[in-house]
Structure formats: C-alpha cells, structure tokens
Amino acid sequence: VAAQAALAADGRAASAGLPDRTPGAVAAAAPGLLDRLAATAELTGEELAAARALAARLPELAGELAACGLPETVVHGDFHPGNWRSDGSGLVVIDFADTCFGHPVADGLRPRGFVDGERWAQVAEEWARAWRERVPGCSPERALELAGPLVHFGYALRYQEFLDHIEDSERPYHEGDPAAEVRQALAAAG
C-alpha cells in the first residue's frame, strides 16, 4: 500500500508504459473476451448469457469503484502469499510478470483465495487501514466489496493474453483459465 500510494502520488505511474488494467479498461475489453470465449464453448450458454449481462454492468461498477477514492496506480497483478518472501526481518515481493497500471483493490483482493476466512478478515482489515491512513476519506472496505467482478474479468483478460503468447506445449495447462475467471466474476457478482 505504501508503495502504491507513493507511486500514485508521484503521478508518473499512468504514463509508465504498463498494460492498462484499470477498471474502465477491463470493462471495455470484457465483451471482446466473451466473444472469444463463445467461440471456444468453454462456457455454457447460460454462463455466457450471465457473463454478457455482467459485462454490460462493468462500466457502472467501475464508476462505483472510482467513487471509493482509491487512486489508480502500479499494481503487482498476482499479489498472493506465494509471491511474498521473508527472512523474518523483512518482506520481499517477487514475480512482477503481471504488473500493470490499475486499481489497487486488485492486489488487495488477491490474497483472499489463498488464506482461510479468519486470516482473510485480518488481511482485508490491514489493507483497508493502510489505505485509510494514506488517503483520508477513502472507502477501501467498499472497494473490496465491489471489485470482485472487475478483478476476475481482469484476471480472465490476463490469462487470455498469456494463452495468446505461450508455446503450444504449455496451452493444456492453462486453456480453461479465462473461463474459470469469468465464472469467478459471476460468483463474485452474486
């Protein structure tokens, strides 16, 4: 949070040449991703219809997320406990392959799938506290509540980019990842 807040305040993050995975960019790209997934038949007709309806709501959701007051900034993109290392005296974050310009809630939500409910509550509380300290008046808890569908569509887009650029021998390990993330977006939307 400290690094993201500092980078956002610096003002140069938006022009750093990173992929744009801001909520608005994700919302704009989601329909095209769904068109591609429709051609693969990885989603059922019912899932695809629900995903298209959700994609139509993403611009509104992006606006609600912006109203939470957190700045767009540099985002790690895969900020889960497997990408954190510590020797007990300090913490190091590794694996910046998915770094982008986006909304920090993407990193704030990422640990959720890697920790149990009690630990998740602690992580979410600490993340929100850190943002409230740096951006008075922001609503990080609300951002965590809202962002799931956008974040999962963002992951679906990233996985599709990955599939578009890997060698054929690796494709079987990742073929279903974009569709799985769309399903997670639907689940997050409730």
For 4-48, how does the pLDDT look when each residue is reduced to its tens digit (9 = 90+)? Answer: 999 999 888 887 899 999 999 999 999 999 999 999 999 999 999
Give the span between the Cα atoms of 142 and 132, in whole angstroms.
Answer: 12
Biggest CA–CA distance in the chain, Å, is: 51
Q: What percent of the chain has pLDDT over 70?
A: 100
Q: What percent of the chain has pLDDT over 90?
A: 88
Using only C-alpha atoms, the chain has a radius of gyration, in whole angstroms, of 17
Report whether 50 contacts 186 (CB < 8 A).
yes
Domains in the chain and their CATH numbers?
2-164+171-189 (3.90.1200)
Chain segment 83-100, per-residue pLDDT in tens: 989 999 988 999 998 999
Residue 166 has what pLDDT? Answer: 94
Average pLDDT, the chain: 95
Give the span between the Cα atoms of 127 and 118, in whole angstroms.
Answer: 14
Give the span between the Cα atoms of 72 and 66, in whole angstroms.
Answer: 9
Residue 12 has what pLDDT? Answer: 83
Chain segment 105-133, per-residue pLDDT in tens: 999 999 999 999 999 999 999 999 999 99
